[in-house]
Structure 1
Amino acid sequence: MSAFFFGKSKQNKNFIWILALTFFIVAFLSFSAKSKGKQNSATFSNEADGIYKPVLDNAGIFSKAELNQLESFIANLDERTGIQIAVVVVKNLSGEDIESFSMKHAEQYKLGQKGTDNGVLLTVAMKEREVRIETGYGAEGILTDAVCARIIRNKITPLFKQEKYFEGIESGIKAIASVLASDETMTENQSQAENSTEEDEEESPFSVLAFVFFVVLIFVIFGRGRNLWLLPFIFGGGNSSRRNSDSFRKGGGGSFGGGGASGHW
């Protein structure tokens, strides 16, 4: 009789331990997914110190406060409207023309939402004293070449000539954002994407729970509980290495066709 109760007690402890471990893994995966979603929602440019940011300042023209201010504006714009703007400032173009340089990086970042193509890249080359606005396919109809040239001529280069580079870039991206946000076709697809994402987030915990429970059950049946301690490493080991291997966090899948304008100061 005592052996029976002892065995039953042991089984109950194992069951409770397995149940607790299952919920721990589900909570861990849910937290990781949410953290990754938050990280991805506002970051679509180059990587610095392991953190993806929408402004790449290789020339070192911004103070930390200025950089944070630009990133905050761009991140909020992306979150509210789905419009993605990136800024790239380089010391020089290494002999490449700014049009080719800008187009190459715009295609690499894939700024803007797929189908809407509402991304914009603002490129500044300090040595050449050149600036370019590169527009996505979908943005070309409203952010025309003429509008881009006017923004460069009236909002950016006058301040650049006074060596007010932060003010010029801030003025430029705000003018770009104002033009794009005034057109519903540039923002309407974002709400659909958000609704789809919310539905996926609501459904995902159940699928994760089922998967985790299945794996735990396999361990219990075939491993008799001896290898359960490996589970946290199995479920948590892959994410960090994958994040670290990505040199760029791409945008929403937008396309570019060479639209935009360039200028000098």
Structure 2
Amino acid sequence: MTVQEVPNPQQTSGNWVTDSAEILKPETEAQLNQMINRLENKNGAEIAVVTVPDTKPAASPKAFATELFNYWHIGKKGRDNGVLFLISKGDRRVEIETGYGVEAILPDAKVGNIIDTEIIPRFKQSNYDDGTLAGTRLIVVTLEPSLDKELQTNPSPSPSRQTLVKTSITNNKQIDSLPSWLPILLTVSSPIWLPILLILMITSCTSIGGGSFGGSDSGGGGSFDSGGGGSFGGGDSGGGGAGGSW
């Protein structure tokens, strides 16, 4: 699988997880997305969790991870506060790649310890869900210690709950974007015009697309300065991190 073939979760769903290897349960993905959303809301850091069947034809899983990180530009532009958690099922390999801006908080030795103690032992038992959750959680609380207690006490919502929240946010954005002249016309118009104005309002709501999502310092639509089609914030890899096999 090439880097270009990996679906960008920010583009496909506005989330942070791509499970191309199909090793994670839907509820696991929901928990991961919720944890990373809380982190991003707190301090702007971004984590992409990606599973792939294998990393061929890349020279190595590490090379694949670095290329994917820079292709998507994970992290905020100018802050480089991104992390890529890559799981290659075929290679039986984990790679965690870090941006320049988090290397002081997540040095290579720390990342290696997370892999060795939290992830690999669970993966050796084919427990990909718990291993991925445990590793991601430790990365999150390392980057934002204030979330430690919150993640212990507040369970992640179910996928249906996430969908409801996303729909609500989109609808609110659409309401906020209604043309300013509609309320005025509604006030001054006679009742005979109300059905027509109602149709105009519905048409206006429909035409206001809600498909873009935030999380970028680099301007409209979350685009970045180079590379291929991502909507992360424009960060770059520092080449740091660690890997491990199971």
TM bracket (short chain)? 0.5 to 0.7
1:118-154 Cα distance to aligned partner (Å, 9 max, x none): 1100000001100011000111122111111111111
Matches for 1:1-265 after TM superposition, within 5 Å = 45-46=8-9, 50-96=12-58, 97-182=60-145, 237=207, 239=209, 248-265=229-246
Structure 1: distance between partners of 2:113 and 2:143: 15
- The alignment partner of 1:263 has SS state of strand
The Cα shift of 1:109 comes to: 2.1
Amino acid at match of 1:89: T
Distance 1:242 1:252 in 2: 13
Structure 2 counterpart of 1:168, which letter?
Answer: G
User: How far, CA to CA, are the matches of 1:111 and 1:241 in structure 2?
Assistant: 20
**Structure 1, unpaired ranges of 5+:** 1-43, 184-204, 214-228
Q: Which has the higher helix share?
A: 1
Q: How many residues are aligned here? A: 182
- Percent identical among aligned pairs is 33
RMSD: 3.3
Q: Which amino acid aligns with 1:91?
A: P
Alpha-carbon deviation of 1:63? 1.6
| 2:17 and 2:50 in contact (8 A); partners too | yes
Alignment TM-score, normalising by the size of structure 2: 0.63
| 1:135–1:259 Cα contact (<8 Å) kept | yes
Supply the distance in 2 between the matched residues of 1:67 and 1:177 (Cα, whole angstroms): 15
Separation of aligned partners in 2, 1:141 and 1:61: 31
- Aligned counterparts of 1:173 and 1:160: Cα–Cα separation in 2: 14
Superposition deviation, residue 114 in structure 1: 2.2
Question: Per-residue displacement from partner, 1:154-201 (whole Å, max 9, x unpaired)?
Answer: 111011011111111111111111222249xxxxxxxxxxxxxxxxxx
Q: Distance in 1 between matches of 2:139 and 2:209?
A: 36
Q: Does structure 2 conserve the Cα–Cα contact (< 8 Å) formed by 1:85 and 1:120?
A: yes
Give 4+ residue runs of structure 1 displaced > 6 Å after superposition.
229-236, 240-243
| CA deviation after TM superposition for structure 1 residue 55, in Å | 0.4
Aligned counterparts of 1:47 and 1:117: Cα–Cα separation in 2: 17
Shift of 1:52: 2.7
- In 2, the alpha carbon distance for the partners of 1:114 and 1:166 equals 31
When Rg is computed on C-alpha atoms for both structures, the one with the higher figure is 1
CA distance in 2, matches of 1:234, 1:181: 41
TM-score by length of 1: 0.59
Contact 1:111–1:251, Cα closer than 8 Å, also in 2: yes
CA contact (8 A) 2:39 2:144 kept: no
SS at match of 2:76: coil
Partner-residue secondary structure (3-state), 1:123:
strand
1:46 deviates by: 2.1
CA distance in structure 1 between the aligned counterparts of 2:23 and 2:239, rounded to whole angstroms: 27
